[in-house]
Amino acid sequence: MSFVIRRAVSTLVPPKVANPEGIGAAKNAVRMARIAKFYEKLPKGSAPARAPGGPLGWYQAKYFGKNPSAAPIWHVIFGIMAMGYSMEYYFHLRHHKNNAH
């Protein structure tokens, strides 16, 4: 037989049937049973609410949580003003504090 004829005849028999191990129980059944057991052990329902951790978590929970407010905008404005004044004092005003004659 030529190679072409042998190749054509070999494709008539599916590989699962030709393999003696493929005739027995399906290997995917055991794998699927393990996956099903894994998913049965997972907790059901929504995840419990986590408590905020650290200062940033506390700030976010207070101002951005269930009752959001505009307070962070004011905090940023006053923070920039305080930082600007402290920089202005350090670079300019500290030189003139005792020279008022």
Whole-number Å distance between alpha carbons of 68 and 58: 13
Domain residue spans of the chain: 55-95
Question: pLDDT tens for residues 12-26?
Answer: 555 555 445 555 556
How high is the mean pLDDT of the chain? Answer: 78
Residue 29 has pLDDT above 90, yes or no: no
Residue 77 has pLDDT above 90, yes or no: yes
- What element of type H or E holds 29? helix 27-41
